[in-house]
Structures are given as C-alpha cells and as structure tokens.
C-alpha cells in the first residue's frame, strides 16, 4: 500500500483536478483508503488506473456496505491493486440514502474495469445501489421477482414463507 506521504500526494493530485472529490484519506490497520464523493468516482478511478506513477490497474474486489445508522449510509468499496509495486488502495465512494422508494445511484465502472460487471450486479441485488451505465443491471443471485434489498442492515433475517405441502396443510 502507498505510505502516508504517498497517500497525501495522491489525494493532493486528485484534488487539483477535481476539487471536492476526496472527502477523507487515511490508514486503517495499515491499509490505505480514500473516501470519495460518488459524483467523481469515474474520474478518480480512471486517474488511479492510468496516470503515470499510479497504475492501480487491477480491481481486486468491488463490494458494498451499509453503515446504518451513520450518514452517509452506504459505501461502495473499490479494492484497487497495483501488481507491479504490490500495493493495495481502497477507494470508498460514500452514498447517502435518498429516502423511501428511491435508490442511491453511482456511475458504473464496467467501462474501466470489466471485472466489475458481476460484482456491481451483486451490490445492486443486495443493497439496491443503482450503477448508472451498467450494461445489464439485473438481480444476479436472487430471483428476478424478489422484492427488497436483503443485505441492508434494516432488512430482517428469516420469515420467508416456503410453499411446502406440509405448510399448506398446517397453516392453510
């Protein structure tokens, strides 16, 4: 991972071109992370991928997290990897909850990292985060007609009725 001055350098250079893009930067358990504004996610990721001296060309993992009750509530994590220098960098796009019946939105990075295809669909499937510009944003692991976003923290566990004949007999 980049060292502390390296991370500040990255932050400074991003802020030169995109003021307000980086919200926070820091180390946690020895891992560097950048918290960014979701509006700037594509420029930041493409800069980290393509700018000379950066070269975070490999997206190890893309996943979402729900920080309820914190605000902004959601985050999409991009675990970037520079394979030449063996450095990991976490980019965290913080997304606010837009409220009832609306879904948080962020730009899809499939054009930059084709590997994000399945993983963005998974984040959509479980957290209801809409990735704008994704070629086929449908549910991937859950059935297509499923209602709800089950990995949000306020979604209860269990309680799904299953239609076995025993259940029908016992409970009508």
Tell me if 57 sits within 8 A of 103, measured CB to CB. Answer: no
Q: Which of 119, 120, 69, 134 is nearest to 96 (CA)?
A: 69
User: Cβ 52 to another protein, closest distance in Å?
Assistant: 19
Under rule CB under 8 A, which residues in 20-49 are in contact with another protein? 28-31
168 half-sphere exposure, CB direction, 13 A CA radius: 3
What is the rounded distance in angstroms from the CA atom of residue 98 to the CA atom of residue 104?
6
Closer residue to another protein, CB minimum distance, 29 or 169 = 29
Q: Contact between 83 and another protein (CB under 8 A)? A: yes
CA dist., res. 59 & res. 6, Å (int): 20
Judged by beta carbon, residue 19 or residue 159, the one nearer another protein is 159
Q: Which two tokens stand for residue 113?
A: 């990292």
Cβ-based nearer residue to another protein, 114 or 133? 114
Q: Which of 23, 39, 42, 140 binds another protein (CB under 8 A)?
A: 140
Tell me which residue has tokens 């393509």.
50
Tell me if 79 contacts another protein by CB under 8 A.
yes
How many angstroms separate the CA atoms of 45 and 80, rounded?
9
CB of 19 to another protein, least distance (A): 27
Is residue 90 a contact point for another protein (CB under 8 A)?
A: yes
Residues near another protein (CB under 8 A) are 28-31, 57-61, 63, 65-67, 77, 79, 83, 86, 88, 90, 113-119, 122, 126, 139-143, 150-151, 153, 155, 157
């Amino acid at each position: 991972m980049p060292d502390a001055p390296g991370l500040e350098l990255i932050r400074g250079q991003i802020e030169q071109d995109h003021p307000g893009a980086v919200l926070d930067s820091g180390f946690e358990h020895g891992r560097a992370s950048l918290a960014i504004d979701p509006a700037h996610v594509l420029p930041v990721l493409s800069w980290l991928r393509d700018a000379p001296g950066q070269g975070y060309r490999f997206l190890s993992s893309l996943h979402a997290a729900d920080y309820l009750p914190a605000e902004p509530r959601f985050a999409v994590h991009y675990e970037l990897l520079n394979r030449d220098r063996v450095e990991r960098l976490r980019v965290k796009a913080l997304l606010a909850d837009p409220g009832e019946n609306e879904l948080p939105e962020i730009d899809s990075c499939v054009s930059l990292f084709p590997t994000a295809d399945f993983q963005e669909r998974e984040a959509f499937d479980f957290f209801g985060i809409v990735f704008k510009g994704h070629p086929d944003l449908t549910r991937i692991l859950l059935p297509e007609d499923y209602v709800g976003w089950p990995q949000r923290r306020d979604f209860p566990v269990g309680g799904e009725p299953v239609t076995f004949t025993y259940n029908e007999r016992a409970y009508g």
